[in-house]
Structure 1
Amino acid sequence: MQKISLFLGLFLMSFLVWAQEFPMDYTFGEKYNDRYKYSNLLTIAEDGTGGTILVRAYYTGLILRPKGYVIEHYNKEMQLLSEYNYKFKGPEFVDGYLKNGQLYLLFLEYNIEEGTYEYWAHRSPLDPFSFTREKLVSFPSDPVSNPLDKNYYNRNFNSGFTTTVLFSEDKNGFVISTHYKKGKNNRHDIFLFTASLKRVLYQDFSDEVEEKNYAFERMAVSNDMSNVYIIGKAYFKKKRFTALERKFQYELIQLNAQGIKTQNFDTPGKYSESLTPILNQGNLICIGFYADRKDNRYNGLAYFKLDPVSLAVKNRKYNPFSEQFMMDKFGQEYDKEVKNLVFKNVAVTPDNSILFNAEEYFVTNSVQANSSGGRLRVERFHHNDIVSAKLDEEGNMVWARNINKSEVTQGDGDYASYSAFTKDGNTYFFISTAADNPQVLNKERIIFKQGLSRNRNVFVIQLNKEGQMSYEKIIDSKEARLPLKVSNPLKDETNGKMLFYAKRGNKKQLVNVAIQ
């Protein structure tokens, strides 16, 4: 095991100053052989004793197909304790989590004999692994293509059956939404479960979908599980729209034993986008972006403080993007548009300021020739600029910054994108790139490009309390021979640590990064 403490700066004169404000330690775990060459990391969680549980889906065959799930258990020294092959295939994996010493895996499967879609939870203790199954929800429907398909910018409600699962931030509860539409039958049901699989709430949402279809995106739930707040796009059923006209509005839905309440946020000239709900000290806050026209561009950040009982809006703020933000993103090209921003995470500081992070994300399609002379449709996922902003307790923008980066992937997105960590009012963004250094254009405007090497460096970009930007390469590709799945770490906010899973081919290891 190798442990290295880094205090780095760009120049010798700035070494000591940089070390005081940007100190990081990283530790490599042992490298292990891995017989599952092709896999995707699905879940990473703390085991309750300082160790870690990882769940991966693995693929084998000449044409790669999912064959099962490998579960790895590491101790706090990042030593591999056990590995379990859960040979289960067929149903679609939804999510996994660890609660009270039990590992839960949630699946959606189609029962051909019954003609129903069914949600099943597979539960097992950690030592030894032994899974039992429990059916949560069943809904009659013909089989459809991609019932769990998620598209940030458009949704297809004409396929018959669509469904969504949303988890609270702490994984203490989750919502299952099922929507079936065929002929005159238009039914929408919403269920709330605790992490231990107890159903605590059910609502028939069918009356609400007579005029609009809902694509739910995020949720928050009260500590006593009596109220659940869901943010989603409400798509109007109007038949015709202009090419640039917005077909939806964002709405907040409150569900409890008394019934359903909804609240929308749009006003003339202000249209909400990519909102997320936050419950903090008895307050219900929704934060995201807004546009001043019914098109796909963004003009700034929106903040709404609501009464958690009545959903009445008590405070509404629209903060246009600052000159600094536009300079970060476009330089002197002021006629460019901000668009395709997707919420990533949010943190509330001890003084009730809000640190909000998003990413420029979109999907492109193309057709290219394959080896046999045919045509193949290729889907590419673009993970571009990082957007970060700080709002004060009243929703006023303190600062907003844009970090330029360009990444595109056709497969496992865990190596692309980024992860963010907040400590002492500072936000740290971890990115993995084959580029040796970012391109510095002027002052703090920097651009990270994907690079061509298969080895990757790990950079950290810091935004301090004042929004000032600095960056450093904390792990060099010569040391990190295995690329980190940088967008899917295990965060230990209490102790200021990030645990990353690194893998290439038949080798794997854990990497721990500590922020002092």
Structure 2
Amino acid sequence: MKKNIFCLFLYFLSSFIYSQNIPFSITKSGLFQDDYKETAIVLAEKIDDNGFLLVRSYKKGGISPGEGFYIEQYDTNLKLTKEFEYEMKHPNYQKYNLVLSLFTIEKTIHIIEIYYDLNLKCFVCLDNKVLNNNAIEKTELFRMSKEEMKGTFNLQKKFYARVDEIWINDNSGTINAEDSNIKRGTFLDVFLKGDLAKDGGDASDITVVVNDTKTAFAIAMDLNQKSSDGLRIYVFNSKLEKIIDNTFTKEIKDRNYIFQNIQVSNSGDAVYLLAKSYDKDLRKKKEGGKYFFELTKIDAKNQLTQIIDPEQNFVGSLKTFFHNDELVCLGFYSELTDYRYKGICFFKFDPNSLELKKSKYNLFTEQFFFDKYGKNTEIAVKFLTFRKVFFNNNNEIILNAEEYDKTTRAGAGAGINGAMGPISSSTSYSFDDIVIAKLNYDGSMLWARNINKKQSTTDDDTSYLSYTSTVRNDKTYFFINTKDKIKKLKNDRIEFGQIRKNKSNLNVIVVNAVGDFDYQEILDDEQNEVPFMVSKGAIIDNTIYFLGRKGKDKQLLKVTL
């Protein structure tokens, strides 16, 4: 990798800014350039007290598109001390290679990928282990023939979709993330649209999840078939030994079965699969349809299922988390006939027996609605997407979500002599209000707040919008790009917004232990030589790292709380 350092004398810039309860320091690297314009941080981990590891993915365009990684080590002042570039090269007979995940186990980087081998006539999933001498050790995890792969995800389509995107690393276990907000069961769409919510192999997915203890990881492939729905699940331990190989199936003649997420136990010997099931006949009735969630525990020998019945409530989706040897499911809910979220639901299970220990439905507070609308109102929230969930030292839960919406509109271009031209489409992305709430150990809401925000773009690169969040000392910090002036709303409220990518200020919002919040500008755009990708921040302890980019120029920013 070739880098041109423009500011050799400027390895870092430090200053301390205090605004009531928001102390922080900033450090900037010098400007540099890579061989490839578009990169994003996909991993950051502490090496020791003197340095940290940073992995950035890059997209290689042109006639032979591809992807690869810059694997770098920095000292605490953001001075580069070691670097290695790993391009994901393949011979011509290995087609549609797709990187699935990147993570570390025992401080060693693992890169999981899958491709189709023309010579073997099968799909191969590999682990690429990056050794200390920068050599790569390849281990085959599994292979599947074309016959076995029929009805699974469409690798070719996913490969070409990735060509125009820079890869971001998601080890959360979410299945069908792209469709999770609308097509995969949020609000009443599955009730109203029926089978349009699932479109065969194109709606299927492959996902990787690593457990919290980093002792095991799972690879799950969604199987969308006419008579049954299912997942092919593999689990590997830290030595890459296969400990679970299971095909989980559900007959779907009478109901729709929609997988939501999968998690690996802390011990690494079991996976927990969460799915949403609809009854097709009841769905057609005017009063709405009956549905429920199924939580299934799968190990090498046994399978155990627990039903979660929302009763009179409508729950768009649930997400599973482990904490203190307990299993917690969180989601947003509304009335069964409504499409707007009105609160947060909580379920706690014994991870061994799947016994339901606690369940709770919490309406959003009056303070929350006043934050959002400036008055008491029955209006609720649409299009909520989970961003982060934290557990503090008191076992309380701090969660945040965002009003995210992606809308694609189709249109027709003009053809010859006024004839209809080729169909085109445009996609808009909206990143609006932030929802933050705190629940106690039993799931009861302590408080909920709404942070007003309006951000949108038609650019496929949304890295400069949305936010990165972290929790330190029971305070939640949000890092966002905003306008110069914060918009004032009625009733002493404010709203954060954006102008454009290269004209934004970096701000931090802090919400304390009782729900009060303050904000502080970190960097004015006139102080920045590059804008920073605020939604792709990487967190190590009390430090957040951002990558900035403008044209070919790049820069790292370190914010220490």
Deviation at 1:197, TM superposition (A): 2.8
Partner of residue 33, structure 2: 33
Deviation per CA, 1:226-257: give whole Å up to 9, x if none: 23223333354559647994685433222223
Query: Structure 2-normalised TM-score?
Result: 0.80
Deviation at 1:297, TM superposition (A): 1.8
Partner of residue 477, structure 2: 428
Evaluate the alpha carbon distance shift between residue 238 and residue 34 of structure 1 in structure 2; reply closer, same or farther with a 3 A threshold.
Answer: farther
1:141 alignment partner AA: M
Evaluate the alpha carbon distance shift between residue 427 and residue 330 of structure 1 in structure 2; reply closer, same or farther with a 3 A threshold.
Answer: same
Partner of residue 177, structure 1: 220
Evaluate the alpha carbon distance shift between residue 131 and residue 30 of structure 1 in structure 2; reply closer, same or farther with a 3 A threshold.
Answer: farther
Partner of residue 105, structure 2: 99
Evaluate the alpha carbon distance shift between residue 53 and residue 252 of structure 1 in structure 2; reply closer, same or farther with a 3 A threshold.
Answer: same
Quick check: 201-210 or 500-509, which moved more?
A: 201-210
Residues in 2 aligned to 1:275 and 1:438: alpha-carbon distance in whole angstroms:
34
Alignment of 1:151 onto 2:179: yes
Deviation per CA, 1:264-294: give whole Å up to 9, x if none: 3233212323322222223222222122214
3-state DSSP of counterpart to 1:487: helix
Deviation at 1:207, TM superposition (A): 4.2
Residues in 2 aligned to 1:293 and 1:395: alpha-carbon distance in whole angstroms:
21
Does structure 2 conserve the Cα–Cα contact (< 8 Å) formed by 1:250 and 1:273?
Answer: no
Alignment of 1:51 onto 2:87: no
Partner of residue 15, structure 1: none
Of 497, 500, 507, the residue aligned with 2:543 is 497
Deviation at 1:261, TM superposition (A): 2.2
1:497 alignment partner AA: T
3-state DSSP of counterpart to 1:393: coil
Evaluate the alpha carbon distance shift between residue 485 and residue 238 of structure 1 in structure 2; reply closer, same or farther with a 3 A threshold.
Answer: farther
Partner of residue 534, structure 2: 486
Mapping of 1:25-424 within 5 angstroms?
25-37=25-37, 39-41=38-40, 43-46=42-45, 48-49=47-48, 50-61=51-62, 66-76=65-75, 77-80=77-80, 81-88=82-89, 90-112=96-118, 116-130=122-136, 132-138=138-144, 140-142=148-150, 144=154, 145-146=157-158, 150-152=178-180, 153-155=182-184, 157-160=198-201, 162-168=204-210, 170=212, 172-184=215-227, 188-207=231-250, 212-238=255-281, 241=284, 245=288, 249-332=292-375, 334-367=377-410, 375-409=423-457, 410-424=459-473
Residues in 2 aligned to 1:284 and 1:273: alpha-carbon distance in whole angstroms:
19
1:68 alignment partner AA: E
Does structure 2 conserve the Cα–Cα contact (< 8 Å) formed by 1:244 and 1:296?
Answer: no
Does structure 2 conserve the Cα–Cα contact (< 8 Å) formed by 1:274 and 1:341?
Answer: no
C-alpha RMSD of the superposition: 3.0
Does structure 2 conserve the Cα–Cα contact (< 8 Å) formed by 1:163 and 1:176?
Answer: no
Does structure 2 conserve the Cα–Cα contact (< 8 Å) formed by 1:254 and 1:260?
Answer: yes
3-state DSSP of counterpart to 2:372: helix
Residues in 1 aligned to 2:138 and 2:287: alpha-carbon distance in whole angstroms:
50
Quick check: 27-36 or 268-277, which moved more?
A: 268-277
Does structure 1 conserve the Cα–Cα contact (< 8 Å) formed by 2:15 and 2:25?
Answer: yes
Residues in 2 aligned to 1:460 and 1:118: alpha-carbon distance in whole angstroms:
44
Of 487, 509, 514, the residue aligned with 1:461 is 509
Partner of residue 485, structure 2: 437
3-state DSSP of counterpart to 2:404: strand
Deviation per CA, 1:315-352: give whole Å up to 9, x if none: 11111011111121222372433121111111111111
Residues in 2 aligned to 1:310 and 1:489: alpha-carbon distance in whole angstroms:
37
Evaluate the alpha carbon distance shift between residue 57 and residue 215 of structure 1 in structure 2; reply closer, same or farther with a 3 A threshold.
Answer: farther
Percent of aligned positions that are identical: 27
Residues in 2 aligned to 1:348 and 1:505: alpha-carbon distance in whole angstroms:
39
Deviation at 1:186, TM superposition (A): 5.6
Evaluate the alpha carbon distance shift between residue 130 and residue 257 of structure 1 in structure 2; reply closer, same or farther with a 3 A threshold.
Answer: closer
Does structure 1 conserve the Cα–Cα contact (< 8 Å) formed by 2:229 and 2:251?
Answer: no
- Judging by fraction of residues, say which structure has more helix: 2
Deviation per CA, 1:11-50: give whole Å up to 9, x if none: xxxxxxx1xx11011110121122311x242612226343
Does structure 1 conserve the Cα–Cα contact (< 8 Å) formed by 2:476 and 2:510?
Answer: yes
Does structure 2 conserve the Cα–Cα contact (< 8 Å) formed by 1:172 and 1:194?
Answer: yes
Residues in 2 aligned to 1:342 and 1:222: alpha-carbon distance in whole angstroms:
24
3-state DSSP of counterpart to 1:325: helix
List runs of 5+ in structure 1 lacking aligned partners: 10-17
